[in-house]
A and B are shown apart, each in its own frame.
Chain A
Amino acid sequence: MADTTTPNATSGSWALEARGLGKRYRRGWALRDCSFRIPAGRICGLVGPNGAGKSTLLGLATRQVQPTTGELRVFGVPVDDPAVMPTFAFLGQDKPLFKRFTVADTLRMGAELNPGWDAAAATRIVRSGNVPLHAKIGTLSGGQRTRVAFALAFGKRPDLLLLDEPMSDLDPLARDEMSTLLMAEAVERGTTVVMSSHMLTELEDMCDYLLVVSEGRIRMAGDADALVPAHTLVTGVSRDGSLPPELDHHTVVETRLQGRQFQAMIRPRGPLPAGWESAEPSLEEVLLAHLRSPDAPSLYTQGARVEAEGNQAA
């Protein structure tokens, strides 16, 4: 497993820290037994199929949803403590804004409701997109509206920015513009970003940390740079149409039989047989393999795992 830069166990250096976190709705568990850490200062992608629990997780982190079990800390502070409110900003999936407010009213709302409001930064973000301050929100294009929502989020000067599929409804041009803006602002201030997304390419470009959720459980958590090299894509000859027993020595994520050949996504736990061809998979291949096989053992890189008792796993 690759050695990665993760902070020490002092809790302030973890932007998010979940222990046994779970949320049950009337129809069942949306999120269950989630224990993970996201270090401060990273851009973390939250990946998973629809209904996997991504929005619930973001809802828990933004105090919209109350957990059924476990606890969640934001920079070491329990999420139910009102003191966490100024530390994060949230951008929901449909970026709700008051449609009858002007852009100036919207920024004023940011100023009125947030003690550490950075009016200069918010105005700069709006201006750089040529969004007129006196225009009503309802008359703006999707891209412009997203820009105002970003301005509101960054004007709050958050240490943690939570985004629920921020780019999903934007055209490619606006998406590119917003990604650039997001990266520039986040890097400049060292903001931790957690963004859920369906766009695997978007994640590959922007995120250096990953949290993969499926069926309400954490499948993978850790450095993008460490998660991918932990996997190997092997191809070999099958025996009588079944998988070779040598595979059992490794952690198998996904297998596929094709005629006399087999292909498997594994996490090797020792040398591979000489007859197998191995290749390093792409991030996309690793993610898809995990999402297709929800029963595969989950993977945490160093530091990403939190035991329920609170001890850091080896």
Chain B
Amino acid sequence: MSTTLTEKSVEPGTGRSLLRGMPWLVVRQHRVALACVLGLTLLTALWIVYERHELVQLLDAKGWPENDASRSMDNNRGYDYITGIINGFPLILAVFIGAPLIAGDQENGTAQLVTTQSASRLQWLIAKLGLAYSLALVSGVVLSALFTWWWKPHRSLFLSDWIDGVIFDNTGPVLPALLLFLTAAGITIGTLVRRVLPAMVITFLFTAVTTLFVWDEIRVRLGSPKMFTYPLDSELPAARFDDAYEADRWVGSADGTLYGWGTCAEATEKAQNACIKEHGIVNNVIEYIGYNQMAGMQWLGAGILLAGTALLTAVTLWQVSRRPL
């Protein structure tokens, strides 16, 4: 495309572009990354639309929900690939967009070039952060909306539970918030490290640890578990807890004392009965988080992530404004 540039394109004001000033510069500088992320978002979005269409056709043919269609989502390769791509988005945005965003300019000296023109350092930073955050937000909102639209009406057919990361993190407000948070983390790490490659490696590790371990721990703590008690010799009313996430399972005595589920798991039935009698155990107790808590948990989680994003943004702004670039 550069070969088609005419001399006129050098003159300001004659360009047909909608973008001017600093936004033009950051879009021009990051246009390849921008196109890649938006392209991947679009492809994934179209794929979700296609898979949902296929599923609806299949269910119509089976006469769902009147007839059983419980195995419709089994061995669904499309679902595996799509969730794989969506789960990769935090990594892509944090490592390839966030980490080099400021660090790249610091390493190449172009931060100095841009901030010694007539625009202030803050204007530059706002344009940079605006670009990265918009990208995270657009990808997150589009993919989350479509994935929710695919999953929610058919959730009983999906093999993953709503509390699983693959559903919880990819629907509702969580995905955009998660993308924003990890992008901000990448930018902050880049600003502190000031070199692209180390920043990318550290951001990769940070993202992996956060999404694989830390967030898993936080997710189940977002809800407030409820207890359900039923007699030892009866069955759990399973239909009621179809959608619930079982956090823990106990046995309890008549006075409400709880014992671990395996307290009386003895080798012989005789020993087991003796144990039950000894502790006065009469009830089974399950601790669960109902599906009705999901929306609240998602907004709480998104709120935490957005607060983290705000904090990281403040650190970046503070760092860049007080240290030489």
Which residues from chain A sit less than 8 Å from chain B, CB to CB? 59, 62-66, 82, 85-86, 88-90, 92, 94, 96-102, 104-105, 107-117, 119, 122-123, 133-134, 136, 156
- Residues of chain B contacted by A88 (CB below 8 angstroms): 116
Q: Which of B7-15, B232-240, B266-274 lies on the face that meets chain A?
A: B7-15
Quick one: closest A residue to B12, CB to CB? A111
Interface size class on chain B is: 20 to 34
| Residue interface mask B1-28, A partner, CB < 8 A = 1 | 0110101011110010000111011001
Report if B119 contacts A (CB, 8 A). Answer: yes
- List 20 extra interface pairs beyond A108-B15, A113-B21, A115-B118, CB under 8 A: A62-B116, A63-B116, A94-B109, A97-B110, A97-B113, A99-B108, A104-B10, A105-B28, A108-B24, A111-B11, A111-B12, A112-B21, A112-B22, A112-B25, A113-B25, A117-B12, A119-B10, A133-B10, A136-B2, A156-B117
3 smallest beta-carbon distances between A and B, as pairs: A96-B109, A111-B12, A113-B117
Quick one: closest B residue to A91, CB to CB? B116
Quick one: closest A residue to B20, CB to CB? A112
B112–A113 contact, CB under 8 A?
A: no
- Residues of chain A contacted by B121 (CB below 8 angstroms): 63
Pick 13 A–B contacts, CB within 8 A, sort by A.
A63-B115, A65-B324, A85-B120, A88-B116, A96-B110, A104-B9, A108-B9, A109-B25, A111-B12, A112-B20, A113-B117, A113-B119, A123-B10
A119-B10, A133-B10 known; A64-B325 Cβ under 8 A: yes
Minimum CB–CB distance from A148 to chain B (whole Å) comes to 11
A85-B119, A85-B120 known; A107-B10 Cβ under 8 A: yes
Report if B73 contacts A (CB, 8 A). Answer: no
Contact of A92 among B25, B112, B118, B119 (CB under 8 A): B112
Report if B114 contacts A (CB, 8 A). Answer: yes
- Residues of chain A contacted by B28 (CB below 8 angstroms): 101, 105, 109
- Residues of chain A contacted by B77 (CB below 8 angstroms): none
Report if B29 contacts A (CB, 8 A). Answer: yes
A64–B118 contact, CB under 8 A?
A: no
B115–A64 contact, CB under 8 A?
A: yes
| Residue interface mask B304-325, A partner, CB < 8 A = 1 | 0000000000000000001011
Bound complex: CA of A111 vs CA of B5, how far in Å?
Answer: 16
B116–A133 contact, CB under 8 A?
A: no
B95-132 with Cβ < 8 A to chain A: 108-110, 112-121
Minimum CB–CB distance from A135 to chain B (whole Å) comes to 8
- Residues of chain A contacted by B15 (CB below 8 angstroms): 108
B213-255 with Cβ < 8 A to chain A: none
Minimum CB–CB distance from B77 to chain A (whole Å) comes to 38
Contact of A119 among B11, B109, B118 (CB under 8 A): B11
Bound complex: CA of A136 vs CA of B11, how far in Å?
Answer: 18
Bound complex: CA of A123 vs CA of B9, how far in Å?
Answer: 11
- Residues of chain A contacted by B7 (CB below 8 angstroms): 123, 133
- Residues of chain A contacted by B24 (CB below 8 angstroms): 108, 112
- Residues of chain A contacted by B12 (CB below 8 angstroms): 108, 111-112, 117, 119
Bound complex: CA of A104 vs CA of B3, how far in Å?
Answer: 11
Minimum CB–CB distance from A121 to chain B (whole Å) comes to 12
A133–B5 contact, CB under 8 A?
A: yes
Bound complex: CA of A301 vs CA of B93, how far in Å?
Answer: 58
Contact of A64 among B10, B108, B117, B324 (CB under 8 A): B324
A114–B118 contact, CB under 8 A?
A: yes
B117–A114 contact, CB under 8 A?
A: yes
Bound complex: CA of A114 vs CA of B114, how far in Å?
Answer: 10
Bound complex: CA of A88 vs CA of B29, how far in Å?
Answer: 24
Quick one: closest A residue to B121, CB to CB? A63
A92–B113 contact, CB under 8 A?
A: yes
